[in-house]
Amino acid sequence: MSDHISIKDDLIHEFSSGYIEKIFYFCLKKTGSSQEAEELALALGIAAPYMEEEVQLLVDSELLKRLEGGRYITDFFIAPRECQDEVNEISCQYAQRHYEKYWALAETAKAKAVELGYDTGAYSENDAVMYFAFWCQQEIELSVQAYGIYSSHKRKDGGNWGFIGFERGSSMQLSSGFFSNNGCGFGEHTEISWDGFQALDQDSIFWKKRYKKDVPGSYLLPVLKRVAAGDVGLEDQRVYLEELAGDGFLVKEGDRFRVNAICGRRDQQETLRVCLQALPEYKCLKESMRQYLEKVRAVLERYSNPYVKEEFNYFVGMSIRLREIFACLWVEQGLYYGESAQFCVLYD
């Protein structure tokens, strides 16, 4: 498992400091054609022996394919700047038309969740709705996409990761940041998990870190579960309680602790999902999402090569930035008026 992580780390370093980025850029500008190592070396001004080492690294890492006759093709999609600009424009138009509808659905989801037994923990009402806004948008997007597109890349070294390239210099008419999914406990403590959404460090809009760490340690999840359940017999866990409070995952209210996240059960989440899917507004947003993704797909097809078609759904999913655009619109339009960069849930 650690081997494929190491390979990815090495590649990231190479992208930032070596010739690999130039190799991919060359392939991008000659879209659809395979290149001989010697041709690449000549075009990029790189010594042939060094080029052979670089190309072999890419082949071993499954980012280049070697064809008959000693020729090579990139084994993933590289989105040119013009392609990204078109996708960004479609995304901005979609977000501007629907951001209020997603927020209204989030308010409905939050109210239903509380009715089902969710606890919003130490979150404010506005922060709780923001979490459900992210969650609803993700649920609808994933419901339209092909199943398993983010976990279908089985690598020969045992890893499971996809890859997409972007040419620098794309533009976006609306503000956007970047929100990643952060979670833990899905493997070690399958009955308890921490999940949520987090902005990048130094984000100018979502700048206030609720937690000092991205996620709590998996070994601390049972303690969080006991706090969420209202367990008062936690004196034997005092060290862990102080650690969780110090990192922001718990807040102290008087002589008791409270989980600083939304808390729920998996069965409650599934019931909430079924309830939302039956709503006319959910169905309307799902259909609009389907049409949006079809437009994005049509753009990518014009810029892609036949050899990446089998993984095309993954490249479509990785090319869109709806979550970030929605987040900024919710702030700019006064729907979210907090400052937090993290919105999370504890499930058991």
Predicted confidence (pLDDT) per residue in 238-270, tens digit: 899 999 999 999 998 888 899 999 999 999 999
Q: Which H helix or E strand runs over 181?
A: strand 179-184
Domain's final residue, options 56, 75, 94: 75
Q: How many domains does the chain fold into?
A: 2
Q: What is the pLDDT of residues 137-175, one digit of tens each?
A: 999 999 998 766 666 667 777 777 777 878 888 888 777
pLDDT at 33 (0 to 100): 54
Q: Residues 92, 63: one domain? A: no
Provide the residue type at 334 as one letter.
G
Whether residue 52 is found in the same domain as residue 144: no
CATH number for position 23: 1.10.10.10
Q: Which helix (H) or strand (E) element contains residue 65?
A: strand 64-67
Q: Do 315 and 331 fall within a single domain?
A: yes
Find the farthest-apart pair of alpha carbons in the chain and give their distance in angstroms, rounded: 74
pLDDT over 70, % of the chain: 78
Coil vs helix vs strand at 149: coil
Which among 31, 57, 75 is the end of a domain? 75
pLDDT at 73: 73
Share of residues in the chain with pLDDT > 90 (%) = 46
Return the H-helix or E-strand segment holding 250.
strand 250-253
pTM: 0.83
If asked whether residues 38 and 117 sit together in one domain, one would say no
Which whole-number Å values give the CA distances from 103 to 74, 138, 197, 327, in the listed order? 40, 13, 16, 10
119 and 68 within one domain: no
Q: Write out pLDDT tens, residues 63-103.
A: 777 777 767 777 778 888 999 999 999 999 999 999 999 99
Dist CA 148 CA 323 (whole Å): 19
More confident residue, 47 or 274: 274
* 62 compared with 93, residue with greater pLDDT: 93
Q: Are residues 58 and 95 in the same domain?
A: no
Domain shared by 47 and 152, yes or no = no
**134 plus 63 within the same structural domain:** no
Q: Which of 43, 75, 107 is the last residue of a domain?
A: 75
CB atoms under 10 Å from CB of 272, counted, come to 21
Range of the domain at 164: 81-347
Q: In what order do the strands lie in the sheet with 179-184?
A: 179-184, 193-199, 342-347, 262-264
User: Among residues 315, 294, 267, 308, which one has the least CA distance to residue 116?
Assistant: 267
pLDDT over 80 at 282, yes or no: yes
Is 86 found in the same domain as 62? no
Do the Cβ atoms of 184 and 218 come closer than 8 Å? yes
- Quickly state the pLDDT bin for 40 (edges 50, 70, 90): low
Q: For residues 272 and 215, state if they share a domain.
A: yes
- pLDDT at position 12 is 45
Same domain, 122 and 23: no
Query: Residue 328: helix, strand or coil by DSSP?
Result: helix
Both 69 and 205 in one domain: the answer is no
